[in-house]
Structure 1
Amino acid sequence: MVETVVVVGAGVYGAAVTASLARRGARAVVVDAGAPAGGTSGATFSWINSCGKQPRAYHELSVAGMEAHRRLAAEAPDGGWYHEGGNLEWADDDLGRERLRTKVAGVLAYGYDARWLSRAEVLGLEPGIDPARLPADEIAYFPREGWIEPAPLVHHLLSGALSRGAELVRGDAVTGLEVTGGRVRAVRLASGRRLPADAVVNCAGPQAARIAAFAGLVLPMRNASGVVVCTSAVAAVSVSRVVHGPRVHLRPDGAGRLLLHTPGIDGAVRASGAVEQSAIDELLEAGRALCPGLRAATVEDVRIGERPIPGDGLPVLGRVNELPNLHFAVSHSGVTLSVHAGDLVAGEVLGEDHGDILAPFRFERF
């Protein structure tokens, strides 16, 4: 019988798993080497989507993740972390346009909400964009997508779990797992504390492979740096949804601020952990060019995280056959998937059968 579950990691996945376990009546202990939402969850673009994800099972899991966020936000209308305004995307060269057409056709074939807009229609949604930066047509719009604020979401999930008897251990890294008789028996912490466990859930994000290794498992990961740049507040900024332009990706970040990103800036992280200033300046200039209201903005914050990406790019979810009381909840797109996938994993920890959904994402595929 599962009574005490130790959850490793207090990001969006760890918080979601802990909240779900607590709702089901289990005693959950969530452990983090730092603070809740202090790792990757606090340095992410946090775009909620299933835009072009393959294979079909991954797409469907992400769609269910989007719906789980809607339900959770409806249950807590004053939470303020969930923003569903859609996503705009366009390209400025032939190859980019062909890729976008292929993506739109693919998601439409799956029944996903997508449509083509003209420049005039986009300006009706986002008047703060410079019209000269938009093509006349073929601007893709995915109206059910959006973004979340990870820290308030994690706080909501964990506060609910703590009110139901869960325990949060922060600032205490996991240093080992005790495994005997084909089961994990306890989790050891840097402080010297030993946490007996009937089950363990590895939600350690970029550290998931290290935690797996404590149990003698090899989890292939190809983690990558992730950088987002937050602008200062500017009253003239009026962007209200996720925007993927050819030179810059952006979304609101509250109080007149925008969050900026491009894949290129992710590669500008130096060995020291700092980001090349030229890359930051270039990104800000791209944001100003797309949204003239940003001309008075400066860089307020540069957030650097390590994105957890399993070796084949797909999530790793659910129990391990070799150690059936050890479970995974690790993926890229963790913000999109966390609430739904975390609930599935928590249910499986406590004996529910979600094998039909989780089968494509098992650890054993490696």
Structure 2
Amino acid sequence: MAEQVVVIGAGIDGAAVGVELARRGARVTVVDSGPPAAGTSGATFSWTNSNGKQPRAYHELSIGGMRAHRRLAGEVAGSDWYHEGGNLEWGDDETEREQLRRKVDSVLEYGYEARWLTRAEVLRLEPDINPAELPAEGIAYFPSEGWVEPARLIGHLLSTVDIERCWHDAVTGIDVAGGRVRSVRLASARRLPADAVVNCAGPAAAQVAALAGLELPMNNTRGVLIYTSPVAVSVARVVHAPRVHLRPDGGGRLLLHTHELDDAADGATVDEAAVEKVVEAGCALYPGIRAASVESVRVGVRPIPADGLPVLGRARELPNFHFAVSHSGATLSLHAGALVAAEVLGEDRSEELAPFRFERF
């Protein structure tokens, strides 16, 4: 059993892995170059779903993640980070509608809950939507989906166990000898002995892997999110409309996004016209949003392994170096984190983790 484990990254994956390791008896140090939740976890749509995820193993892993969120939220009195309000989606033209029909058919084959709603049924769920923006029928509803507030979840997780925290101290080196990781070096000149290391570094996962002599192919992308000021508009669930995606974000704020908005980012700068276009689409969908202002626009980096699937578990050539890297961290974190932690501590999780091994690259 690995007694001393260094977890690199204090986002939602690192917190989940670190907490599970500590609960299982390991001594854990979580390291991050900044504060917890300051990276991708602080700028994410954080939609919990298994909506059209392929292959089947990825779908099932995501289902496990959704169940883990539901279970934890049910166990913790006053939990306020998990919201299972469902997800609405519809298309704008026949091509989009056909794509949505195929997606619904595919998830129904897997036993995933989905159903078709009419405009009148959607208005009973979301009474502040502009009816003119809705088709008369053909609106897909995925009732088990929702979203998490990552910073709140990370704060809860880190508060439940005794772990050593090294914030604002970047990893600068990983010492390997005899085919195993021996220690982790930090910018502060500290050296952390390690029986095992877990790479939860998100967008920086490839750089961390390289420090251990491993090549992890990543296709990271930028993600742009618009946060409104508090507004008296009733939005209770995730909504994927043709020209805007949105959800509540606590305190009466709303979170808006589109994939086109992501393309409008140049580093940390986002084209103002693109932001205005998304806000206008949000106002058309929910007219009450016109009373709000744009409070902030955040640019995050999405960690996406080269084939789009998570990278989980140990590396064969360096068996005490482990990965927990995924584009779907908000959905997967609790479940995948538990699987990775169990393997770090010697349990056989080959069946669940086989499709997501580093060696597939």
TM range (shorter): over 0.9
Within-5 A mapping of 1:178-257? 178-235=175-232, 237-257=233-253
- Give structure 1 regions of 4+ aligned residues with deviation exceeding 2 angstroms: none
Displacement of 1:303 = 1.5
TM-score, normalization: structure 1?
A: 0.98
Within-5 A mapping of 1:1-366? 1-161=1-161, 165-235=162-232, 237-271=233-267, 273-366=268-361
Q: Distance in 2 between matches of 1:360 and 1:2?
A: 24
Q: Structure 1, residues 69-117: CA drift from partner, whole Å, max 9, x if none?
A: 0011011131200000100000010110000000000000000000000
Q: Distance in 1 between matches of 2:190 and 2:163?
A: 17
SS in 1 for 2:346: coil
Q: Structure 1, residues 306-326: CA drift from partner, whole Å, max 9, x if none?
A: 000000000000000000000
Displacement of 1:257 = 1.2
Contact conserved, 1:199 with 1:349, CA < 8 A, in 2? Answer: yes
Amino acid at match of 1:289: A
CA RMSD for the aligned pairs?
Answer: 0.6
SS in 1 for 2:236: coil
* 34-43 or 68-77, which deviates more: 68-77
Q: Distance in 2 between matches of 1:242 and 1:8?
A: 31
Identity of aligned residues (%): 70
TM-score, normalization: structure 2?
A: 0.99
SS in 2 for 1:254: coil
Displacement of 1:270 = 1.2
SS in 2 for 1:332: coil
Q: Distance in 1 between matches of 2:349 and 2:116?
A: 36
Contact conserved, 1:79 with 1:152, CA < 8 A, in 2? Answer: no
Q: Which runs of 5+ in 1 are unaligned?
A: none
SS in 2 for 1:6: strand
Contact conserved, 1:172 with 1:191, CA < 8 A, in 2? Answer: yes
Q: Which runs of 5+ in 2 are unaligned?
A: none
Q: Structure 1, residues 195-227: CA drift from partner, whole Å, max 9, x if none?
A: 000000000000000000011111000000011
SS in 2 for 1:310: coil
